[in-house]
């Protein structure tokens, strides 16, 4: 099972008759590092055992921060 807690925030203010919005997004806020993929192949060829069977192939993406600005007119 995999879960994420993401967060978004923005703040808009007037700027000379226009509007400027600054924003921030945080993905995987708690920086969870759960496994998303294992090597399930038992053989790599006919009769050849896979030495990597059961090993972890991938984890969740780490915490990521995205900042931005939007100018509205």
* Alpha-carbon separation of residue 5 from 60, 64, 70 (angstroms): 12, 11, 24
- Quote the tokens at residue 46: 């006919």
Confidence label for 16 from pLDDT (cuts 50, 70 and 90): confident
Give pLDDT tens digits for 21-60. Answer: 999 999 999 999 899 999 998 888 888 998 999 999 999 9
What burial letters (b/e) apply to 53-62, b meaning 16+ CB within 10 Å? eeeeeeebee
Domain ranges of the chain: 7-72
Name 60's Cβ contacts closer than 8 Å, sequence gap at least 6: 2, 4, 28, 32, 33, 34, 36
């Amino acid at each position: 099972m995999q879960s994420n807690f993401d967060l978004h925030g923005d703040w808009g203010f007037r700027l000379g008759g226009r509007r400027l919005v600054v924003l921030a997004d945080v993905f995987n806020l708690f920086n969870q590092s759960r496994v998303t993929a294992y090597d399930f192949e038992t053989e790599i060829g006919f009769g050849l055992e896979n030495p990597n069977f059961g090993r972890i192939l991938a984890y969740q993406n780490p915490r990521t921060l995205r900042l931005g600005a939007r100018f509205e007119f």
